[in-house]
Amino acid sequence: ELATGEGKTFAAALAAGYWALDGRGCHILTANDYLAERDARWLEPVYQALGLSCAFVIQGMAPNERRAAYQADITYLTAREAGYDYLRDRLAGAPAELVQRGLDSALVDEADCLLIDEARSPLVIADRADGAPEDLTVFGAIAGSLVPGQDFQAEANSHGLGLTLAGQERVASALGSGGMHQPEDRERFARVHAALYARCFLERDRDYLVKAASLQLVDELTGRVAQGRRWPYGVQAAVEAREGLPPVAESAILGSITLQRFIPLYRRIAAMTATAAPAAEEFFTIYGLAVHVIPPRLPSRRVDAPDRLFRTIAGKEAAIVAEVAAEQERGRPVLLATSSVADSERLADQLRAAGVPCQVLNARNDQDEALAIAAAGCQGAVTVSTDMAGRGTDIQLGGPQASAAERTRLAKLGGLYVLGCARRESRRLDDQLRGRAGRQGDPGLTRFYCSLEDPLFARYGVAAFLPPEYLQSIGPADSELHDRRASREIDRAQRLIEGHHHRVRDARRRSSQLFELHRRRIASLREACLFGLDGDVRRGRLAAIDGFWTEHLAAYEELREGIHLVRYAGRDPDREFDRRLDEAFEAGLSACGLRDGDDASAAEASASAAEADVSAWPARRPGGAGATWTYQIDEEPVEPFRLPSVMNGASLVESVVQVPLSLLRALRAIWRRWRRT
């Protein structure tokens, strides 16, 4: 853990240079393409002085450029690009087509983002679809006709969604089917479920944008457009149909891996971030990485002021505008961090109406993100951005070209003022925002403005933590609350939510173990064929392996999309998923003649059989040159979650009953996992 502004970029250069001495290459995995190219160009003279070569890989580079970059001693790239190239290499038809030279060493920058927040989002490589896309408007119409509470139940905090018996009958009638328990109707029920999910939980200008006749997802953690990311389980297609966008034909998935599974494939890894300590247990449990905290070079002069809490969003935003206007008049730079595109634009409009000029930086206009954030420290600058825009860019008092006298003058005003317009679900995200102020010993001020209507309160019911008599005695609707209990409950809510998300990630990791075993068996078999066979024999054998794996991935996605429906039949979705997936894998291996030693010996054994019927081999392997595209799936937690409240009598009774029940459920889950293994 190295604090924001303390020089992670240059510390990484020394470590990478040391690891690169053995000649096997070191990858520095960054958060985005801009940082990969910038850091490689910045530090190339350092590496040249050490006798080492340096290169970078970014989106859009040709295979020969990528191959050359991977041959350098140190290669800068995003974790996504490294993962996509790994998946492409798993489709190579000959050793000469491989791009990477192996996964030896990796230094992960912004480790909490890549190894934790994005860890469970699968990277996908898919075949370009031919054929006409399916018309999904009918499923959206059915979902739009369902009545909340009567036909379905939705939980905003967990994004949990379920049809009632009346809802099941209504959907079955609209589809003209025999019900969701009929195998031939499960996919259509899943389509309705996806459309209903989009209706209940996904909002335009908060969760996604519509730009250039296409859907662009907004990263919940950064507020930026998440390039190349899609929602799973048919949700993406449902939102596109709702927005009237041209449907995209579904394509065959050729390969898939999560960052949580990809990063450990490196022989050795290290990581750095400004907020590692809160996630120390997860870093060690999943990646075997111990956390070491490096003290700052100079003592921090940043002041983290107490939160200001209001009853309503309107009251909160009025106070924010008044506060920013006063600070801007003094000449102090202010950075406002909002939770969504819509929030940033609404707040900017209010500031301009109050006569406060400001610059807006969000997913709608993020082309010059680094330059805009770098200028946020100039005198009198007011920058309204989404929470983590400009990550990796230093905000210097007075701007990059400021004189010493100007910086001293701004320091006397108190330095950069970072104003958070809402608390987030994770303390790490709040700490990252605070870290934008007071870099390198500069003074600075941070403060969060919150309201009882904020997403954290609304989604997780934090307001229910407060006793009824407190809520009835806090004054007018737009008044400020001055009781410390509310701030304490926000902190407690964040701890509980973080624990929940950790359990979700851990459960997803454990639930994907069977699929990971399947992936490794296929990778081993494919590698044996790639290097152990030649010519047409190799081509035919690889075609059989790739064809089988594409079919298995399709079965995997189909199972994931509709497995939740078995709950209505009283069966455990986890057990049913593992059973069906393993049966499909083993049956597919046998049907394709791939079940034997799973290694070079197996390839040798089947070579003569393959030679016997050349005409039966596919004319083209899936994923031929120019026929693939890549994207990242944006996963959502589906486990129901409600914050336990213990601040009033009724909630205390509920908690006393719920705690032992929760413990029994946990013990039952452990016993089931033990029985499965």
pLDDT above 70 (res 27):
yes
State the Cα–Cα distance between residues 3 and 274, nearest whole angstrom.
5
Question: Percentage of the chain surpassing pLDDT 90?
Answer: 29
What the block records as the tokens of 172 is: 């079955």
Looking at residues 364-380, what average pLDDT do you find? Answer: 75
Residue 518 burial (CB count, 10 A): 21
SS3 of 85-123: the string is: HHHHHCCCCCHHHCCCCCCCEEEECCHHHHHHHCCCCEE
pLDDT in tens, 382-405: 999 886 555 666 788 888 788 888
pLDDT value of position 649:
36
- pLDDT value at residue 483: 67
Average pLDDT over residues 482-489: 72
Model pLDDT, residue 370: 67
150 CB-contact burial (10 Å; exposed 0-12 / middle 13-18 / buried 19+): exposed
Predicted pLDDT of residue 312: 87
The stretch 359-373 carries a mean pLDDT of 72
Separation in Å, CA 546 to CA 85, 592, 621: 17, 11, 7
pLDDT in the model for residue 633: 62
Query: Quick one: pLDDT at residue 352?
Result: 95
Confidence at 99, pLDDT banded by 50, 70, 90? very high
Better-scored residue on pLDDT, 338 or 601 = 338
pLDDT at 249 over 70: no
Q: What is the pLDDT of residue 36?
A: 93
Higher pLDDT, 153 or 223: 153
- pLDDT of 661 over the 70 cut: no
For 560-587, how does the pLDDT look when each residue is reduced to its tens digit (9 = 90+)? 767 777 776 778 888 888 888 899 899 8
Q: Which of 130, 128, 123 is nearest to 255 (CA)?
A: 123
CA distance 140 to 132: 19
Higher pLDDT, 58 or 484: 58
Residue 474, pLDDT above cutoff 80: no
> Using one digit for the tens of pLDDT, what is the confidence trace for 301-322?
999 999 998 888 999 999 999 9
pLDDT band at 58 (very low <50, low <70, confident <90, very high): very high
Query: How confident is the model at residue 335, as a pLDDT?
Result: 93
User: Which residue has 């600070």 as its token pair?
Assistant: 327
For residue 205, CA distances in Å to 33, 220, 401 come to: 24, 12, 35
Residues 6+ apart with CB under 8 A from 95: 530, 531
pLDDT at 638 over 60: no
Angle, helices 165-175 vs 186-201, to 10°: value is 120
Q: Is the pLDDT of residue 624 over 70?
A: no
| Mean pLDDT of all residues in 227-245 | 80
pLDDT score, position 618: 40
- The pLDDT value recorded for residue 512 is 82
Determine the average pLDDT of the residues in 181-203.
80
Task: Return the structure tokens found at 396.
Answer: 């210097």
| Residue 1 scores a pLDDT above 70 | yes
* pLDDT tops 70 at residue 124: yes
Q: What average pLDDT score do residues 10-17 get? A: 94
Q: What angle do CA 114, 505, 639 make, to 5 degrees?
A: 135
Q: Residue 642 — very low, low, confident or very high, per pLDDT cuts 50/70/90?
A: very low
Q: How much is the average pLDDT of 199-210?
A: 85
Comparison of pLDDT for 487 and 144, the residue scoring more: 144
Pair 31, 78: CB distance under 8 Å: yes
Q: CB of 347 within 8 A of CB of 361? A: no
Of the two residues 610 and 52, the one the predictor is more confident about is 52
Q: Point out the least confidently predicted range of 101-110, 128-137, 626-635, 647-656.
A: 647-656
Going along the chain from its start, the domains and CATH numbers come out as 8-128+257-287 (3.40.50.300), 137-250 (3.90.1440.10), 301-501 (3.40.50.300), 512-612 (no CATH), 644-676 (no CATH)
* pLDDT band of 53, cuts 50, 70, 90: very high
Token digits for 1?
Answer: 């853990």
Largest CA distance in the chain: 86
More confident residue, 604 or 370: 370
Asked if the model's pLDDT at residue 504 lies above 80, the reply is: no
At residue 360, the pLDDT reads 87
- 409: pLDDT strictly greater than 60: yes
Question: What was the pLDDT predicted at 400?
Answer: 77
For 254-290, the pLDDT digits (tens) are: 888 989 999 999 999 999 998 899 889 889 988 999 9
**Phi, psi at residue 9, to the nearest 5°?**
-60, -45
At 222 the pLDDT is 61
Asked if the model's pLDDT at residue 448 lies above 80, the reply is yes
Instruction: Give the pLDDT confidence score for residue 651 in this predicted structure.
Output: 38
